[in-house]
Structure 1
Amino acid sequence: MLAVAALAITGAATVVARTAEPGALAAPVEDDGADCPVTLPGSLPATAKLPDPFRKADGTRVSAKSDWRCRRAEIRELAERHVYGEKPAKPSSVTGTVSRTGITVTVSHNGRSAAFSASVDLPSGTGPFPAVIVVGGFGADTAAIKAAGAAVISYDPLAVGREGTPRTNKQGAFYSIYGSSSSTGLLAAWAWGASRIIDVVEQSGGTILRADALGVTGCSRYGKGAFAIGAFDQRIALTMPVESGSAGAPIFRGIAGESGAQPLSSAYGEQPWLGDAFGSHTGNPAGLPVDTHQVVGMIAPRGLFIMENPHVDWLAARSGSVAALAGAEIYKALGEGANISYWSDVQDGTHCAARSEWRAPLQQSIQRFLLRTGAAPGVFRVSPRKAGNLADWRDWQTPTLSDGPTTPPTTTTTTTTPPPVGDDCTASVSVNQWTGGFVATVRVTAGSSAVNGWTVEMALPPGTSITNAWNANRSGNTGTVRFTNVGYNGAIAPGQSTEFGYQGTGGPPGSPPTCSAG
């Protein structure tokens, strides 16, 4: 456990500069876009739909993958200003130690200082080891993390930003440095503390822990923290929030309409997790110029594995699936569609349980993003209990960005069919492909007449098999597969669309789908 302490830390280590290794997606610095000029308009129009993540502050759209660096800087500024509060840059002095059992951190800035510590649990072997920061002791299965070859850093965020305090008198190491009346919420404060741990790991010289192979996980409120930590520090190679609920991954705009989900006013008032400025948006999320799908984009193209629980309504898993599906469009545009995974299709409804369904993609993610072996899981398993429909939430399309992808190559193809004679709908397919698998998003669009029920048929090539689908019923997994609407997306107004998706192994569909109404 961490504790704020007044003890002096001796023997400060030498800072070791590092550069990104070939194939590594984590950045060598906390904020790679800190030099980007960001000028935001005084006000942005309110919209019930998710803001277009590809539209820059000047009104133009991102056209190249290289543009995302500074577009991310704009999103970060929006997120700080309206959601989290400011996460300050590295303080003037950060020192500490790394041992095989713990990490100590001492921070000094503007004449103020604070200290805290974290415990370390190493896997078998000699190291140096990649490591996963486990926020608050609750997150992804730590036994599975260690079995995959990564160390566990147990981080108590309450030493950095304490819960149970009023917004006007926040406590903990962060607020000892920046003031108890700081408008920064606990999640950004926790992210700041995690970044200072990373600073010390960097300074340690890499004899025990590798600063270039770090992940983060947490569950429930600590899942909210893990999500923020991964978004605000680009040195994190793998982010794994678990059941983060309102103020975590789920889109703010969807929570009010999701039965039983924790209201935004409750999430804002329960603890000062969110920045003080968010209070003006709890009753009007449509007025937010940013939403959590863009926070997912702040993590892109680094590794992200979102785990959700559809059995507890309070956790807003439907809104979480929308955030993941919309954020996946950013990953797709950046050519790294396999680097985001989402899994809510679980049997066990116990909150923060270590689930067997997550073990394989968890360990595969650690191997890919921390050990740099194997391929990213690129898996989407959306529970039919809480399946969001991205088409209901966006009025923007994903651009094809210039510049070649890095690792692994991802391709996007789109095929469209005209309405068959006697029917009045079309189907188009967007494919996210990686070695050995793909995710397909199918858009069903009504013609000049309303559609009340639809069927899409798709011929899969030999060797291709569907492993999962969402927002549609399906018959068969190979050959010619038929998809039909589910109860909530069968009615489509003239000219409007709905979307469903599926994941498969092998090659993507090559021939156009057919769509029939009725």
Structure 2
Amino acid sequence: MFNLAAIWLVSFVVGAIAQTCPALPSTINLTANSKLPDPFKFINGTAVASKADWACRREEISQLFQRYELGTLPPKPSNVTASLSGNSLTINASEGGKSISFSVSISKPSSGTAPYPAIIAYGGLSIPTPAGVAVITFNNDDIAAQQSSSSRGQGKFYNLYGSNHSASAMTAWAWGVSRIIDALELTPSAGIDLDHIGVSGCSRNGKGALVAGAFDTRIALTIPQESGSGGAGSWRISDAIMANGTSTQTASEIVGENVWFSTTFNTYANQVNVLPFDHHLLSALVAPRGLLIIDNTSIDWLGPQSVWGCQKTANYVWQALGEADHMGVSQVGNHNHCAFPSNEQGDLDAFVNKFLKGQSTNTNIIKTDGANNLGFVESQWVDWTVPTLS
């Protein structure tokens, strides 16, 4: 069994190391841009011309999200240990004289042999459990609370780093996912295939799963389900949808609802056009690894037009890298929020089988059951061209 995405990523990172990436300026002149920002242009205006350039641009985009929207993601703590008892994996992390512990449960499949591919599931798995794949249930609320806007700074992440740390809840959860993977690396007896790890969640947890996949390149497949605005949707397109009379979640609403984003983002929630990114670039941080966007056209609040336009645009990054079929969109309506319709099973299987089981499957899947592309007109949002990166 082998992982094509992992092999590709090794050569990708080696190319990036061979050149020095430009530092993100300490001060950036933010100017309004109603279009979806160009993935292939650095903040300093330089064009992205190669895969090594993209690796540097990817790091720049990551830093931009941390600076303006998600808060700072701390590096791996100075000390991480792990212990396995039955199906419970306990992770211990220490930094600056403080320590925390949290646990995840591992449910192994009844078929196949160890080491098993696995999906880290925010709050439990909402998609059907794939055959032969372990499920690692992650209580993300334990790491960072998300009860309401008053729960900022609560949870074990903040016990370790301080209640005033800039990291949003979603960044803290991504930190937690990385520590789970650290612990699995330390615990071979857990029987998990470290080259075939996925992450998934639905709704608010789908937003979180996308952030985790964006930040940790050890994740082979990211599956956010019905994550809406602040996840697979675009801030700019969602604002336009709301302005046209459809009630959908926007940045200005979301910052008052909960603590998924950093307090810095409050400054930009009513002026998203000045941000030097949108969420097509959050998804692009996953490239060239596997990403399957699962969405629902029946719920206006999720902004299905926003998700469709955002993710069709994100796919251009995979196209430029020569891996267009490593990213897919499956957008199907007529079901409840976080339900999984049977006619999406084939799409899920194709991605799981390729990126978690190392099989050769057709993952050229970008589809919606919404009429006329849900009204998304690309020329209104994209004013840049897609290069072929050498």
- How does the TM-score come out when normalised to structure 2? 0.91
SS at match of 2:256: helix
5+ residue gaps, structure 1, are 1-19, 403-518
Aligned to 1:159: 142
Tell me whether 1:276 sits opposite 2:258 in the alignment. Answer: no
Corresponding position of 2:156? 173
> How many angstroms does 1:53 deviate by?
0.6
Residue aligned with 1:324, SS: helix
Superposed, 1:48-447 pairs within 5 Å as 48-98=34-84, 101-124=87-110, 125-142=112-129, 145=130, 147=131, 149-164=132-147, 166=149, 169-205=152-188, 208-258=191-241, 259-346=246-333, 348-385=334-371, 386-402=374-390
Q: Distance between the aligned counterparts of 2:355 and 2:319, measured in 1? A: 17
Q: What are the Cα deviations for residues 364-412 of structure 1, in whole angstroms up to 9, with x where unaligned?
A: 111111111112412011232535232211111111222xxxxxxxxxx
- Tell me if 1:24 matches 2:6: yes
The structure where helix makes up a greater share of residues is 2
Structure 1 segments (4+ residues) deviating >6 Å: 31-35
8 A Cα contact 2:152 2:259, kept in partner:
no
Partner-residue secondary structure (3-state), 2:100: strand
Q: Work out whether residues 145 and 151 of structure 2, in 8 Å CA contact, stay in contact via their aligned partners in 1.
A: no
Distance 1:264 1:166, change over 3 A: closer
TM-score (ref. length: structure 1): 0.69
Structure 1 position 37, deviation (Å)? 4.4
Contact 1:183 1:275 in 2 (8 A): yes
Per-residue CA distance 1:457-495 (angstroms, 9 max, x = gap): xxxxxxxxxxxxxxxxxxxxxxxxxxxxxxxxxxxxxxx
Which has the greater radius of gyration?
1
Please tell me whether the aligned partners of residues 226 and 338 of structure 2 are also in contact (alpha carbons under 8 angstroms).
yes
**Partner secondary structure for residue 262 of structure 1:** coil
Asked if structure 2 preserves the Cα contact closer than 8 Å seen for 1:104 and 1:118, the reply is yes
SS at match of 1:192: helix
d(CA) in 2 for partners of 1:252 and 1:25?
A: 33
The C-alpha deviation readout for 1:71-127, integer Å capped at 9, x for no partner, is 100000001111111111101111112455121111100111111111111112331
Is 2:36–2:381's contact at 8 Å kept on the other side of the alignment?
Answer: yes
**What displacement does 1:68 show?**
1.1
In structure 1, the residue corresponding to 2:364 is in which secondary structure?
coil
In the alignment, the residues of structure 2 paired with residue 295 and residue 334 of structure 1 have an alpha-carbon distance, to the nearest angstrom, of 16
Aligned alpha-carbon RMSD (Å): 2.1
Aligned equivalents of 1:169, 1:312: Cα separation in 2: 28
Separation in 2, partners of 1:98, 1:27: 30
| Equivalent-residue separation in structure 2 for 1:190 and 1:37 (angstroms) | 28
Task: Name the CA distance, whole Å, in 2 between partners of 1:383 and 1:188.
Answer: 32
Displacement, 1:23?
Answer: 5.2
Which structure has more strand as a fraction of its residues?
1
Q: How many residues align?
A: 376
Task: Tell me the residue number matched to 1:408.
Answer: none
Q: Secondary structure at the residue paired with 2:39?
A: coil
Bigger relative contact order, structure 1 or 2 (CA pairs below 8 A, ≥6 apart): 2
Give per-residue Cα distances to partners, 1:248-305, cap 9 Å, x unaligned: 1101101112211112122111111011111011111101111111111100010000
| Distance across 2 between alignment mates of 1:287 and 1:276 | 17
The offset of 1:36, in angstroms, is 4.1
Q: In 2 relative to 1, CA 70–180 (structure 1 residues): closer, same or farther, beyond 3 Å?
A: same
Name the CA shift for 1:275/1:366 in 2 (closer, same or farther; >3 Å).
Answer: same
Partner of 1:413: none
Q: What CA deviation, in whole Å up to 9, does each residue of 1:107-152 have, x standing for no partner?
A: 100111111111111112331101001111253222xx2x2x2100
Would you say the 8 A contact 1:224–1:241 is kept in 2? Answer: yes
Kept in 2: contact 1:293–1:324 (CA 8 A): yes
